[in-house]
Structure 1
């Protein structure tokens, strides 16, 4: 089909993968976020795609719908130089229709973005979609900035992750997070496997803050990422979380890391802590679903 000056059709092959990567790079350079995650959505198993090309063959719009269990997920991209002409609406409407075919159980579609903009919010709202999740991706540039000076309280000491300490890490995680909405309530075995089973997990950067009266907080890290930070309720407000992050950053920098990323829910007050420590917001990822 044709939409204005664009010719539309499914994507496939090495050339289209390179074109999607280029389009994602142009979008994220303006909107923030991480293009790698967006690109991966177009390569998922069972994905259905469409793309819009100019008369000279340049890909300036693309969308993908992939199956979930249950449901389906849609993501779209419009080149910043081609926005404001209704192309985003065309992609979204295509995605909502395509999701019905991908999700044979009719469980509904989740519209995703790795770089939420005000224009995207307005578009999603115009189709009756509501935001169900949002988190900021934040970055610390270790190539240009020193890790902050934020020492642990003197009665606490950091201990690196070991198999023998994994159970205590879990107990501290459970105490720190169980009062939060959406806490999954995983058993220790599942959380430890999820944490340490990641091939990019780095035990030497993952720390447990321990004192004479027990464990106060923890941080777990992977290559280039701070994965989780938690402080038990009795130790909150005493600088434990910030000190653990600062120590992890120092160890990451000593290990050759150039930047460190983390995710923080937009409703989590820890975002202010990370800003004070020197993190900057790279972009906002979000999910929208049909209003009920």
Structure 2
């Protein structure tokens, strides 16, 4: 039971313990250990940690400020689940989040049915979910190429505007489309230190000159893939992904990741056919709004 654990702040010298706990959770739940760990390194965060009598870290939660939001995340050792530890962590986190101003958001790198039931029991509802998929680049690349007559153009200052126009056309009708102006999307895309312009590619019709689709990349990640509605069904998305993977592998990458929204099964099927497999489902939850 939770009373068997000793509770207190995580402490600044716990990076190895957090990594070990994240790996134990990943082995059961999936997800990305490195992403989970990064959320516990915020020096301004509020934390609580549960330890056994022997001092082993078996549960941890953190509340940190991200913009105008109080972001909650946590982990419970699989061997300690079903004993009320997760409930204790969540109740603590919701109370701690109340000391911040702004909206409360709970995020997880590997939501499970049990965790989802717990979150819902505290009045939280899922507002976003996406599957993280991985491909091994040590073997042969998928047999997919863009159709004949389609040319690949690498990201460059003079092509940035064309990338944005295809992005807007490809995603405008998707749920949650932010409607950003070009400057904000370009800053979001290329402002990251890990952005890879050399692996980010625009597909264009070599004859007519129309831009058809795009892919943008960061270190080890396929970030966004989009195809204009009128150009879909021609294998352009698959060809763009394979071209990006080819470039990534040529520069030494041994694997690549991408994420696909849970409400976009068509894209998920394309990636699965290319050899990507799901390694975890990340999700966000927020307090249910009164109607």
Q: What band does the TM-score fall into relative to the shorter chain?
A: over 0.9
Displacement, 1:155?
1.6
Name the CA distance, whole Å, in 2 between partners of 1:35 and 1:226.
Answer: 18
SS state at 1:4 partner:
helix
SS state at 2:177 partner:
coil
Which of the residues 119, 126, 129 maps onto 2:121? 126
Find the counterpart in structure 1 of residue 172 from structure 2.
178
Residues paired across the two proteins, number: 286
Q: 1:59-96 deviations in whole A, cap 9, x for unaligned?
A: 00100011233231111111111111110111001111
Find the counterpart in structure 2 of residue 93 from structure 1.
91
Name the CA distance, whole Å, in 1 between partners of 2:68 and 2:183.
Answer: 25
1:227 equivalent to 2:223? Answer yes
Find the counterpart in structure 2 of residue 280 from structure 1.
277
SS state at 1:13 partner:
coil
User: Is contact 2:111-2:281 (8 Å) kept?
Assistant: yes
SS state at 2:98 partner:
helix
Which of the residues 14, 17, 20 maps onto 2:15? 17
1:254-273 correspondence runs (5 A) = 254-268=250-264, 269-273=266-270
User: Is contact 2:2-2:83 (8 Å) kept?
Assistant: no
Displacement, 1:3?
2.6
Q: 1:122-176 deviations in whole A, cap 9, x for unaligned?
A: 1112112110010111101112x32111111112111111111111111111111
Which of the residues 179, 184, 190 maps onto 1:190? 184
Structure 1 length normalisation: TM-score? 0.94
Q: 1:96-115 deviations in whole A, cap 9, x for unaligned?
A: 111111x1x3x342111111
1:150-161 correspondence runs (5 A) = 150-161=144-155
Q: 1:37 to 1:185 in 2, by over 3 A?
A: same
1:1-292 correspondence runs (5 A) = 3-14=2-13, 16-101=14-99, 103=100, 105=101, 107-143=102-138, 145-211=139-205, 212-213=207-208, 214-268=210-264, 269-292=266-289
Structure 2 length normalisation: TM-score? 0.94
SS state at 1:120 partner:
helix
Larger deviation, residues 180-189 vs 240-249: 180-189
Name the CA distance, whole Å, in 1 between partners of 2:232 and 2:146.
Answer: 12
Displacement, 1:13?
2.1
Name the CA distance, whole Å, in 2 between partners of 1:265 and 1:45.
Answer: 31
Q: 1:27-75 deviations in whole A, cap 9, x for unaligned?
A: 1121111122221211225210000100100000100011233231111
Larger deviation, residues 52-61 vs 33-42: 33-42
Name the CA distance, whole Å, in 1 between partners of 2:215 and 2:195.
Answer: 12
User: Is contact 2:153-2:203 (8 Å) kept?
Assistant: yes
Structure 1 unpaired stretches of 5+: none
Name the CA distance, whole Å, in 2 between partners of 1:231 and 1:251.
Answer: 20
Name the CA distance, whole Å, in 1 between partners of 2:10 and 2:254.
Answer: 34
